[in-house]
Structure 1
Amino acid sequence: MAPKHIENQTRCIISCLFHEGDAHDRGMVVPDGDVGDEDPFDPVLIADKLRELGDDYDEKVIQPLINNVRQAAADQVVQAFGDSVDGLCRSWVGQGTEVVSEMQLLKASVTLGLYVKNRCPDLVSTVQNAMGAFVNTRLGNWVEQQGGWDEVASN
């Protein structure tokens, strides 16, 4: 599992990802300090960079995967979300991409999350929570090893 500060940052970033605009306009509190803090963490900038990652993927691949999430019972959404992300990553491997597997998972998570946001608004809250759990469980330690979200987003 991810360190607590990475978990908090992940949830904040995902919230920004699902709610475009300025974090301050939504009353969002940045979890790692205030304006006077030396920490450069900016969830809005990171969410924007992650959104760019997700936007470049062909939505035709996601459509069959979103059906799995839509059909899953509420207690199975995290599993269905994870299975869908794994399916996206397998399709990228088949295309010969040379992207680090963790970045594939991140890109697939963002792509699937944004697809749900745009196409299935009734699932946004459920998938947003599933996405946070998935990213923290599967990628949290990797994010920490990279030096945090700022470093991940800059690659």
Structure 2
Amino acid sequence: MAPEDFKSQTMAIISCLFQNERDMFETDGPGSLEDENADVMKIADKLRQLGDLYDETVIQPLMKDVRAASKQQVETAFTNGVESLSKMWVAERAEVVPEKHLLKATITLAIYMKKNCPDVTGVQDAVTSFINNRLASWIIQQGGWEKASLSCD
């Protein structure tokens, strides 16, 4: 998968994750576009399930900085929160690949912010940027989004 294809797919998946709408994509087009849209929604649903697994009390302490961040600081605050959450999980289960922890932490924090901090702007862009900068090569090595999202169970 080419890097630009991955970035486009990531943007679509994160958009679907944040939209929380099953009908955000038109499915009356050619078969390949319909299949691609179905894959995006399936991956977003899988990531949503992954993020919902974690208790909000784990995330609450991390949210103080993110809530207080200005739009320009959201990406940095989001990144710091993901890294902190991921390190906590690595300490608990070091046998799991660190990138899995990063992906879980990214989606968990993103879903929490979507639900509880709707006034914080720039979160969707921060999530997409973080994934493209920190996790793209690992996700591509797993065989793409579909296989990477399944490997995080």
For normalisation by structure 1, the TM-score amounts to 0.85
Q: 2:103 aligns with which of 96, 102, 106?
A: 106
In 1, the alpha carbon distance for the partners of 2:135 and 2:88 equals 19
1:91 is displaced (CA, Å) by 1.0
Unaligned runs of 5+ in 1: none
CA contact (8 A) 2:90 2:101 kept: no
Q: 1:70 aligns with which of 36, 53, 67?
A: 67
Matched, 1:80 2:83: no
What are the Cα deviations for residues 117-137 of structure 1, in whole angstroms up to 9, with x where unaligned? 1111112x4111100000110
User: Corresponding residue for 2:31?
Assistant: 35
User: Corresponding residue for 1:45?
Assistant: 42
Q: How many residues align?
A: 148
What are the Cα deviations for residues 16-75 of structure 1, in whole angstroms up to 9, with x where unaligned? 1112232xx22469xxx95236x7671110011111111111211211211111112222
- More displaced stretch, 54-63 vs 96-105: 96-105
- Please identify runs of 4+ aligned residues in structure 1 that moved more than 6 A: none
Partner SS for 2:96 = coil
Equivalent pairs: percent with the same residue? 48
1:97 is displaced (CA, Å) by 4.8
Matched residue type, 2:24:
R
Q: How does 1:1-155 map to 2 (within 5 A)?
A: 3-22=3-22, 25-27=23-25, 34-36=30-32, 42-123=39-120, 125-155=121-151
In 1, the alpha carbon distance for the partners of 2:95 and 2:89 equals 9
